[in-house]
């Protein structure tokens, strides 16, 4: 499958590498490919510059959001929560129409200091905003409740004995995403419901951030025991 | 230990019965004991009338919020989220001063229809509001992330292999609550941090409500796998 991963941060890189490793044709989308490749030194998140990762993954092309999305059959939104709607607008609604948009972002707002708050929250979610802004896309919220390393290698923690959620209005889109998740090693994919259930998944982030702090590791995840 | 459980709904009854079963001296607090006992027919939640439960648990006295709290060493807030601050005000700040207040409530607001939303949320939490309204109480948020049956009998699900959180500013109060939780059978008590971390625990409720819907059972819980 042709997949466009929008976003060049750690989540985007990790997903692009893993999906390519599964045999998919993957391109990464960014606002300005030249500028992204020209950046040197660590990013604001501490990640090494994208050019370093790209040098080791030259088979994964870096393109504009629009070029990446136009050829793709499935689009992954791995941008920051605050940049998601702008990135998808750059990709272009025509390039998203009819396609599965797998949204893995979190609407974290750091503008009021630490810890970040969610925006939108409670009566809305980023997943819903994306679906609403691009009504012809088939948005599925997933994977936002865990670290990037576990997104693509769940088996490295407890043999994969933990859970991942999908939320979305389109049953076929959720099926396609579920199959992709299972191919990555996810054993317990829970369908939370329509896209409004993304509120539930997104609102687990404040607990996740606290757990990161108190457990001192990113290698943890939620399991729904039943 | 002398324990006052404020609230006569299913959560209050279940906790009162279990804590009494552990050998604690338990009283239940309500706004108007006569009125509570006089109610017949199922409650709004579908629970049988309190009088029925009380007839089977006559060793657990029903008192006003203030009378219950005044004698107690530990106070459990098991009221509804919307009624919590009023109930604790009726209990009286002097009757809460210096005491552990174990808050298990969820700030669910049904006034805008279903699904309920949280209020407060994101930049505040019910746990924080209680601590702020009663600065001399030692508030510990806990148990709000699971069904009442699992609160008091975690072993009935996967042998107790799931998690419960505590949030609070007072280390000794969290220690006392942790010991109480362990006595009930909780094997994995995670200290999320100060009372502001109650936001994280409370914001798991929307996911919990969705999971209830899709799993079709109340017998599920979050486990933090690490």
List the domains of chain A with CATH numbers: 2-215 (3.40.50.720)
* Cα separation, A27 vs A35, whole angstroms: 17
* Cα separation, B74 vs B91, whole angstroms: 13
Closest-CA residue of chain A to B222: A224
- Residue among A121, A190, A226 minimizing CB distance to B121: A121
pLDDT, average across residues B151-156: 98
Please tell me if residue B189 touches chain A, with a CB cutoff of 8 Å.
no
Q: What is the pLDDT of residues A200-216, one digit of tens each?
A: 999 999 999 999 999 99
Among candidate residues A170, A209, A164, the one with its CA nearest the CA of residue A183? A164
Among candidate residues A73, A221, A56, the one with its CA nearest the CA of residue B163? A221
Please tell me if residue A224 touches chain B, with a CB cutoff of 8 Å.
yes
Q: For residue B144, is pLDDT > 90?
A: yes
Please tell me if residue B114 touches chain A, with a CB cutoff of 8 Å.
no
What the block records as the tokens of A192 is 């939370």
What residues form DSSP beta bridges with B206? none
Q: What is the pLDDT of residues A15-38, one digit of tens each?
A: 999 999 999 999 999 999 999 999
Q: For residue B156, is pLDDT > 90?
A: yes
A123: chain B residues, CB-CB within 8 Å: 112, 117
Identify the band that residue A162 occupies on the pLDDT scale cut at 50, 70 and 90: very high
pLDDT recorded at residue B112: 87
A215: chain B residues, CB-CB within 8 Å: 190, 224, 226
Q: How far is A57 from chain B (nearest CA, A)?
A: 30
Asked if B162 lies within 8 A of A225 by C-beta distance, the reply is: yes
Which burial class, exposed, middle or buried, applies to A216 when counting CB atoms under 10 A from its CB (0-12, 13-18, 19+)?
Answer: exposed
pTM value? 0.97
pLDDT recorded at residue A45: 84
Among candidate residues B201, B183, B92, the one with its CA nearest the CA of residue B140? B201
Lowest mean pLDDT segment, chosen from A108-117, A206-215, B52-61, B120-129: A108-117
Mean pLDDT for chain A?
A: 97
Q: For residue A114, is pLDDT > 90?
A: no
Q: Is the dihedral of CA B183, B184, B185, B189 positive or negative?
A: negative
Backbone angles phi, psi at B8, to 5 degrees: -115, 15
Closest-CA residue of chain A to B167: A210
Backbone angles phi, psi at A163, to 5 degrees: -120, 155
The H or E element that residue B151 is part of is helix B148-152
- Residue among A200, A206, A214 minimizing CB distance to B210: A200
B217: chain A residues, CB-CB within 8 Å: 226
- Residue among A191, A207, A226 minimizing CB distance to B219: A226
Taking CA atoms, A184 is separated from A11, A154, B126, B211, B224, in Å, by: 14, 8, 39, 23, 21
Closest-CA residue of chain A to B213: A192
Q: What is the pLDDT of residues B14-23, one digit of tens each?
A: 999 999 999 9
Kindly provide the b/e burial profile for residues A91-121, where b requires at least 16 CB atoms within 10 angstroms of the residue's own CB: bbeebbeebbbbbbbbbbeeeeeebbbbebb
pLDDT, average across residues A103-129: 95
Asked if A191 lies within 8 A of B213 by C-beta distance, the reply is: no
- Residue among B192, B209, B214 minimizing CB distance to A191: B214
């Amino acid at each position: 499958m042709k997949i466009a991963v929008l976003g060049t941060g750690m989540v985007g890189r990790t997903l692009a590498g893993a999906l390519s490793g599964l045999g998919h044709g993957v391109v990464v989308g960014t606002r300005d490919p030249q500028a992204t490749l020209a950046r040197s030194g660590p990013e604001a998140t501490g990640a090494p510059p994208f050019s370093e990762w790209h040098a080791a993954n030259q088979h994964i092309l870096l393109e504009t959001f629009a070029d990446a999305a136009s050829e793709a059959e499935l689009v992954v939104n791995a941008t920051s929560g605050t940049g998601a709607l702008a990135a998808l607008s750059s990709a272009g609604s025509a390039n998203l129409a009819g396609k599965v948009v797998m949204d893995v972002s979190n609407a974290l707002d750091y503008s009021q200091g630490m810890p970040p708050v969610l925006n939108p929250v409670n009566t809305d979610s980023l997943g819903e905003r994306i679906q609403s802004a691009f009504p012809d896309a088939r948005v599925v919220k997933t994977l936002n409740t865990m670290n990037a390393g576990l997104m693509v290698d769940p088996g490295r923690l407890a043999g994969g004995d933990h859970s991942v959620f999908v939320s979305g209005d389109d049953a076929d889109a959720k099926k396609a995403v579920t199959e992709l998740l299972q191919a990555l090693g996810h054993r317990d994919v829970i369908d939370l419901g329509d896209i409004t259930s993304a509120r539930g998944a997104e609102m687990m982030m404040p607990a996740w951030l606290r757990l990161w702090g108190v457990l001192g590791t990113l290698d943890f995840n939620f399991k729904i025991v039943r």
